[in-house]
């Protein structure tokens, strides 16, 4: 039993999810959290912050050559964003599925962007796109002491392990 629990714990991943300033202003914080929570993922860190422009540039560093980079960084630093870390089996990849395609015009109905956003420049949510970026983004946005680690009673029902 203990072995099974340990094996399960080793499979747990963490991803970085941010509700961007448009999602906060539109009153979508609870709606977005609820979609991850109801799925069975576990919230292990959360805070609300106004990122500086420099911080936004660090977060989106990989996109620095893109024509929309400056506008994107201005936008991310324009008001409060909600920074979160979610944990669960497959959460990085499935988190991206819950979020939907980058351009809300191409996001499937049922996804967060598909249901709640219209244009690519205001797509309300960010999610890490792989294990390396997840690690980097968690380290960028959160201090180690802001991350929690806990078990809850629902886990045995979500994962079927006793
Ligand atoms: P992602 O958020 O789905 O991972 P990325 O390609 O990493 O998409 O782009 C980061 C963010 O940059 C997008 O979420 C969106 O806000 C913005 N963005 C991407 N492409 C465009 C564009 O063509 N015009 C304006 N903004 C864009
Ligand atoms: Mg991305």
pLDDT confidence of residue 6: 61
Question: Which residue puts its alpha carbon closest to atom 5 of ligand 1?
Answer: 102
Rounded to the nearest angstrom, the distance between the alpha carbon of 159 and the centre of ligand 2 is 29
d(CA 153, CA 75) in angstroms, rounded, equals: 39
Distances (CA, A) of 4 to 12, 42, 91, 127, 162: 13, 19, 19, 29, 9
Is residue 126 flagged as an active site residue?
Answer: yes
Give Cα 162 to chain centroid, integer Å.
28
**Is 68 marked within a binding site?**
yes
pLDDT confidence of residue 2: 57
CB 66 within 8 A of CB 116: no
Residue numbers of the chain with a pLDDT score lower than 70: 1-10, 162
d(CA 64, CA 115) in angstroms, rounded, equals: 29
Q: Which of 85, 126, 137, 142 is catalytic?
A: 126
Pocket-testing residue among 32, 66, 72, ligand 1, by greatest number of atoms within 8 A of Cβ: 72
Q: 65: which DSSP letter?
A: T
Rounded to the nearest angstrom, the distance between the alpha carbon of 40 and the centre of ligand 2 is 23
**Is 96 marked within a binding site?**
yes
Quote the pTM value.
Answer: 0.95
């Amino acid at each position: 039993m203990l072995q099974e629990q340990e094996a399960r714990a080793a499979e747990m991943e963490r991803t970085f999810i941010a509700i961007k300033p448009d999602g906060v202003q539109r009153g979508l914080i609870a709606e977005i959290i609820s979609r991850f929570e109801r799925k069975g993922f576990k919230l292990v860190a959360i805070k609300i912050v106004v990122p500086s422009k420099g911080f936004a540039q660090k977060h989106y560093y990989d996109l620095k050559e893109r024509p929309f980079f400056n506008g994107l960084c201005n936008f991310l630093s324009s008001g409060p964003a909600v920074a979160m870390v979610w944990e669960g089996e497959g959460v990085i990849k499935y988190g991206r599925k819950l979020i939907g395609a980058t351009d809300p015009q191409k996001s499937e109905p049922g996804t967060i962007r598909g249901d709640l956003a219209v244009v690519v420049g205001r797509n309300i949510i960010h999610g890490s796109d792989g294990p390396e970026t997840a690690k980097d983004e968690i380290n960028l946005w959160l201090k180690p002491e802001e991350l929690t680690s806990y078990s809850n009673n629902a886990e045995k029902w979500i994962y079927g392990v006793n």
